[in-house]
């Protein structure tokens, strides 16, 4: 494998020098520097980069404009902002263009660790096709009915953030975007937020209004579009898994932060299906045809068609958007948690709860796709959780 490459763009030479040294060592990558947007674009024309890190305020071309162009021309690159100050307006201008937003000087070793994880997950996907498509995703389709509910609420003169949050937390795409935004450094929050309702309360009703109406952070599909039925199916299942995973975490008396984490990990575990359906409609059609013809788990049909599954694609997307390792792992390994190679205590309750909740919900599907419904007994036994599913089933009323 050739050495990874990072393009650093900043108009302050001292910042460039410091970052070059630290990132080069920690990430074991080749670092190339550019002092402004046009220079960065000239360098990108000559060679591809795995990661582009840009300052925001630069003379001539802003970081947001540069990253927009990178998004368009080089979608496979991971796009990061490293800004000197936090500002909502500045942050909003990068909503579609940057995967993550950090503040200078920032904890560069923590940033490097995150980038390493993202690049490791990218290795699970074929470079052309899925690997490029997922890095280019900026919005995902919301369930049309939930989207309409959201529009109605934000158009009320007395729209409350709490009420908007209760709508957002029901939808996979809206929750993912709200949490990605609120945990971005441009808000300068010290706490890590994993509750979609709290995320919306922190963002505020008026900001949510501009995100929906002006920035178009959320999107829906027309109600009668064939994709709408697929989105609804993923949405219903994801909400079941999220609710059941939360109940399991509560039953296990997990602390509130882990209860929230189990909920969002459940909500996002199949997010890769939405990304594939929205961006690779032909591949989705082919996967559906394969499933109609043959007795296969959907992940097997996906691997045949795309070279990777919705689990890997979703995990990579969540990592690109800055979600925690536990949420990312729950997406990547929700079918076969034993593949995570993790010790029991580090996957409990999140991955374990999502895996079992997912298996319970898939039991309702036709038996011909039964591999989806089989709990990973090796994993449960190794984790000392073999007797848990029965108790959890009773706890969630399944
Ligand atoms: Fe799945
Ligand atoms: Fe699932």
What's the 284 CA to ligand 1 centre distance in angstroms? 14
What is residue 6's DSSP assignment?
E
Q: Same structural domain for residues 188 and 289?
A: no
Residues with CB under 5 A from ligand 1 (ion): 270
DSSP helix/strand/coil, 106: coil
Nearest ligand to the C-alpha of residue 244?
2
Is residue 198 in some structural domain? yes
Whole-number Å distance between alpha carbons of 258 and 266: 12
Q: Same structural domain for residues 35 and 80?
A: yes
Q: Same structural domain for residues 233 and 343?
A: yes
Q: What's the token pair of residue 311?
A: 């689990």
Whole-number Å distance between alpha carbons of 164 and 263: 18
Instruction: Residue 176: name the closest of 217, 209, 144 by CA.
Output: 217
Domain closes at, from 97, 123, 149? 123
Q: Which helix (H) or strand (E) holds 170?
A: none
Q: Which residues, at least 6 apart from 232, have a Cβ–Cβ distance to it below 8 Å? A: 143, 144, 145
What's the 7 CA to ligand 1 centre distance in angstroms? 35
| Furthest-apart CA atoms within the chain: distance in Å | 63
Whole-number Å distance between alpha carbons of 296 and 310: 15
Distances (CA, A) of 278 to 2, 52, 225, 327, 365: 31, 25, 12, 22, 23
What's the 170 CA to ligand 1 centre distance in angstroms? 18
Do residues 54 and 9 lie in contact, with contact meaning Cβ atoms separated by under 8 Å?
A: yes
Q: Same structural domain for residues 57 and 187?
A: no
| Per-residue pLDDT, 55 | 92
Domain count, the chain: 3
What's the 358 CA to ligand 1 centre distance in angstroms? 7
The residue assigned the tokens 């199916």 is 233
Instruction: Residue 194: name the closest of 74, 326, 5 by CA.
Output: 326
Bridge-based pairing state of the strands 219-220 and 30-34: unpaired
Is residue 189 packed enough to be buried (19+ CB in 10 Å), middle (13-18) or exposed (0-12)?
A: middle
Is residue 134 in some structural domain? no
Q: Same structural domain for residues 216 and 236?
A: no
Distances (CA, A) of 339 to 108, 333, 361: 30, 7, 21
- Residue 287 sits in a domain whose CATH number is 1.10.3210.10
Please state, as a whole number, how many other Cβ atoms lie within 10 Å of the Cβ of residue 285. 13
State which residues form the domain around 256.
226-395
What's the 182 CA to ligand 2 centre distance in angstroms? 26
What's the 238 CA to ligand 2 centre distance in angstroms? 7
What's the 42 CA to ligand 2 centre distance in angstroms? 43
Is residue 136 in some structural domain? no
Is residue 132 in some structural domain? no
Nearest ligand to the C-alpha of residue 356?
2
What's the 356 CA to ligand 2 centre distance in angstroms? 10
Q: Same structural domain for residues 29 and 45?
A: yes
Instruction: Give backbone dihedrals phi and psi of 202, rounded to 5 degrees, phi first.
Output: -70, -35
| Per-residue pLDDT, 216 | 77
Is residue 216 in some structural domain? yes
Q: In 25-37, which positions are buried (b, 16+ CB within 10 angstroms) versus exposed (e)?
A: ebbebebbbbbbb
Q: Same structural domain for residues 202 and 242?
A: no
pLDDT in tens, the chain (398 residues): 568 899 999 998 888 888 888 888 888 889 999 999 999 999 999 999 999 999 988 989 999 999 999 999 999 999 999 888 766 666 677 777 899 988 877 778 888 888 999 999 999 999 888 999 999 998 899 999 999 999 999 999 999 999 999 999 999 999 999 999 888 877 767 778 999 999 999 989 988 888 888 777 888 888 888 889 999 999 999 999 999 999 999 999 999 999 999 999 999 999 999 999 999 999 999 999 998 888 888 899 999 999 999 999 999 999 999 999 999 999 999 999 988 887 766 777 899 999 999 999 988 776 655 555 678 888 888 888 888 888 999 888 86
| Per-residue pLDDT, 33 | 94
Nearest ligand to the C-alpha of residue 237?
2
Is residue 274 in some structural domain? yes
Q: Report how far Cα 212 is from the mean position of its chain's Cα atoms.
A: 19
- Residue 109 sits in a domain whose CATH number is 3.40.50.2300
| Per-residue pLDDT, 368 | 58
Q: Same structural domain for residues 299 and 390?
A: yes
What's the 75 CA to ligand 2 centre distance in angstroms? 27
Is residue 128 in some structural domain? no
Q: Same structural domain for residues 158 and 283?
A: no
Whole-number Å distance between alpha carbons of 177 and 95: 9
Nearest ligand to the C-alpha of residue 311?
1
Do residues 100 and 322 lie in contact, with contact meaning Cβ atoms separated by under 8 Å?
A: yes
What's the 120 CA to ligand 2 centre distance in angstroms? 23
| Per-residue pLDDT, 151 | 93
């Amino acid at each position: 494998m050739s050495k990874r490459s990072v393009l650093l763009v900043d108009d302050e030479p001292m910042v460039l020098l410091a970052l070059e040294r630290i990132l080069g060592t920690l990430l074991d990558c080749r670092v190339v520097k550019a002092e402004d947007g046009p220079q960065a674009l000239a360098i990108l024309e000559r060679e591809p980069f795995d990661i582009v890190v840009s300052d925001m305020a630069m003379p001539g071309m802003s970081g947001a404009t540069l990253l927009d162009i990178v998004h368009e021309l080089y979608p496979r690159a991971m796009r990061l902002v490293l800004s000197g100050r936090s500002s909502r307006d500045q942050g909003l201008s990068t909503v579609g263009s940057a995967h993550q937003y950090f503040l200078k000087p920032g904890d560069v070793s923590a940033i490097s660790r995150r980038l390493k994880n993202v690049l490791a997950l990218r290795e699970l996907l074929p470079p052309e096709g899925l690997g490029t498509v997922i890095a280019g995703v900026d919005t995902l389709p919301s369930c049309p009915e939930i989207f309409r509910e959201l529009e109605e609420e934000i158009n009320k003169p007395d729209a409350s953030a709490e009420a908007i949050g209760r709508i957002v937390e029901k939808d996979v795409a809206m929750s993912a975007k709200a949490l990605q935004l609120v945990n971005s450094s441009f808000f300068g929050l010290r706490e890590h937020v994993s509750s979609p309702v709290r995320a919306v309360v922190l963002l505020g009703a008026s900001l949510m209004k501009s995100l929906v109406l002006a920035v178009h952070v959320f999107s829906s599909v027309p109600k009668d579009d064939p994709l709408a039925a697929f989105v609804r199916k993923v949405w219903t299942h994801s909400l079941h898994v999220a609710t059941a995973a939360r109940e399991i975490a509560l039953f296990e008396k997990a602390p509130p932060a882990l209860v929230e984490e189990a909920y969002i990990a459940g909500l996002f575990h199949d997010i890769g299906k939405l990304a594939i359906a929205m961006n690779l409609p032909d591949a989705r059609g082919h996967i559906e045809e394969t499933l109609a013809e043959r007795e296969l788990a959907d992940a097997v049909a996906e691997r045949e068609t795309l070279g990777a599954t919705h689990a890997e694609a979703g995990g990579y997307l969540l990592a690109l958007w800055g979600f925690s390792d536990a949420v990312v792992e729950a997406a990547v390994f929700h079918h076969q948690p034993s593949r995570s190679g993790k010790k029991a205590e580090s996957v409990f309750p999140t991955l374990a709860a999502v895996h079992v909740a997912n298996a319970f919900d898939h039991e309702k599907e036709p038996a011909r796709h039964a591999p989806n419904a089989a709990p990973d007994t090796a994993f449960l036994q190794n984790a000392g959780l073999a007797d848990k599913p029965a108790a959890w089933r009773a706890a969630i009323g399944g």
